[in-house]
Amino acid sequence: MSTPIPTAGLPDVDVVCLGEAMVAFRPTAPGPLAAAPSFERGIGGAEANVACALARYGHRTRWAGRVGTDGFGTYLLEALAAHGVDTSAVRRDPARTTGLYFRTAGERATAAAPAREPYAEVAYYRSGSAASAMSPENVAREVAWSGRVLHLTGITAALSAGCLALTRALTARAPGRPLVSFDVNFRAPLWPAAAGGPQTLAALARGCDVVFVGEDEAQDLWGVTGADAVRALLPEPPLLVVKRGAAGATAYTDGTVVAVPAPAVDVVAPVGAGDAFAAGFLSATLRGLPLTARLRHGHLMAASALTAAGDLGEPPARARADALAGLDPGAWGRLRLGPGWEEHTA
């Protein structure tokens, strides 16, 4: 039986990201998984992606979760630490394995956006993983609430009954709760019809402070179309961000609506952009920037993921990102970003 994460002696951080980190394998050549001659290894998992992006952007971040005592667990901890992420709250489970997944370069299809790539496959090997055993009994609230921000996603809630109970406990309003950020991150294969995914994810989102949801996944989940319809469905979060893909993003807060178009991007692989957007937005939030600047930083960080082959792109220097986020509307509208953050303007 695993023991709870110790709460004493943890260093202060800006953001705690709690969820499942996995080892991600990406084919070294285009085509379906069945034809892949070999794979490249990297970090996967929405919350780990956010933690790494924020750490590489200069913020103190902690990833809280569980991995096995296998070599894959060791690799994840070393890779996260190499990105500057604090892993002192991670527990290793000798009875369960570390989650893995294999994916091609294409993004998942949704009802609103069919797959644009000829091969868009994702194969998960995470059932019964170490992370799926997380629960309120073995993850202390003090650990999850040890930063200025706690970032969660709907993926964790889908992993097991214990993970759902933990997510509910951490999003419950109580004294001492930090700012709670929640990315809906709907993954249909993780939510069988009987599991009540749409109702569960809506209920979790309503209890959080900052909520990210894609316009396409809102249509898949709740059958609503358009950012305004998403806000009508989720009026409770003080700050709701509806991501609209290449069209941009719209934020709703305090009766104010702010929409910011996304810059044009020369896409290398459409994977990891949502996690990067959340990291950019949270980074600007931690710095107290205006809402328009927060959305622009989200777009800029998303571009760094879209122009890289893996889930994690190389974020720009903060001074450069600040300069781009401060462009006048006309210059922002002409901005185009390519691989390696090569900048083009029309």
Return the number of other C-beta atoms located less than 10 Å from residue 201's C-beta.
26
275 is catalytic: yes
Rounded Cα distance between 64 and 13, Å, is: 12
User: Contact 93/67 with Cβ under 8 angstroms?
Assistant: yes
Q: Residue 24: name the closest of 121, 89, 116 by CA.
A: 121
Rounded Cα distance between 139 and 90, Å, is: 10
Rounded Cα distance between 160 and 129, Å, is: 10
**Catalytic residue chosen out of the listed positions 275, 311, 322, 328:** 275
Rounded Cα distance between 288 and 297, Å, is: 12
Determine phi and psi for 292, rounding to 5 degrees. -60, -45
Q: Are strands 66-68 and 91-93 parallel, antiparallel or unpaired?
A: parallel
Question: How would you list the strands of the sheet with 61-64, edge to edge?
Answer: 61-64, 13-18, 147-153, 179-183, 210-214, 239-243, 249-253, 256-260
User: Contact 251/295 with Cβ under 8 angstroms?
Assistant: yes
User: Contact 131/19 with Cβ under 8 angstroms?
Assistant: yes
- The HSE-up count of residue 180 (CA atoms within 13 Å, CB side) is 27
Return the number of other C-beta atoms located less than 10 Å from residue 62's C-beta.
27
Instruction: Please give the positions annotated as active site.
Output: 275
